[in-house]
Amino acid sequence: MEGDSTGLAGATGGLVGVWTEQSARIEDGIAIGRQVDTVQAQVGQTNASVQQVSEVMADINGRVSAQTTLKVETNQGGRKVVSGIAIGSNGEEGEILLMAQRLAIIDSLNGQTILPFVVEGGQVFINQAVINQAFIQNIVAGMTIRSQALNSQGLPLLEINFAAGTFTLRGQDAAGSTLLNNGGLYVYDVNGVERVAVGRLT
C-alpha cells in the first residue's frame, strides 16, 4: 500500500499486489487441488486485476473435474469491464467459454495485419470463408451473390443483386449460350448472335 499511515502498514488510497494461493487436500474420499494467482492494482476507486484459478477434483465415486479460468477486470468511474476464458472437463465432456465485448483473430504476416474473424456487438464478421458443405436455415443477404465460375466473357454464371433486385443466370457450351435475367430468356449462337428472345418488351 502507498504512503505511511500512523499505526498502519500504509494508506489504502493506492495499493498493488501479486500473490499466489495454493491448497491441496483429501477429505471424505474427495481429493481437491487448487491454485489462485492474482495481480491487482488500485488507486482511489480505480482498480484493475488479473486472476487465474486452476482446480482439479476426483472422488471415490468416480467423479472427476478439471478447470482453469483466466479473468481480467477493470473498474473505472463505476464502469466495470470483465473479459475471461474458462476451460473445463468433467470426464464426459469438455468446454471452452469466452467472455468479451470483442473477440478477434489477428494474422500478421510480412508487415500486413489481417483480421480474418471478429465477433463484436452480437455479430460475427468473417473476412473470407471456405466452406465445404453448409446447412443454413435462414439467409438474410443484403448485397450481391456471384458464382466463382465465369463464362468466356469473364462474367459470372450466376449473379443475384439483392439491393437492386436483379437476377442473372448465364449458360454456355460449344453450340452457344443462354441468358436469363429480369428482362427474359435469350439464346445466342456460337457467334454471339441472338436467336431466341422470350419476354422482351418492344
| Average pLDDT score over the chain | 90
- Express each pLDDT in 33-59 by its tens digit: 999 999 999 988 899 999 999 999 999
Would you say 75 and 46 are in contact if contact means Cβ atoms under 8 Å apart? yes
Cell readout for 98 is 469466452
Residue partners of 139: CB distance under 8 A and separation at least 6: none
Quote the pLDDT of residue 102: 94
Quote the pLDDT of residue 136: 84
- Express each pLDDT in 102-161 by its tens digit: 999 999 888 889 999 999 999 999 998 888 998 888 877 778 888 989 988 899 999 999
Arithmetic mean of pLDDT, 78-96: 96
Rounded CA separation 15/41 (Å): 6
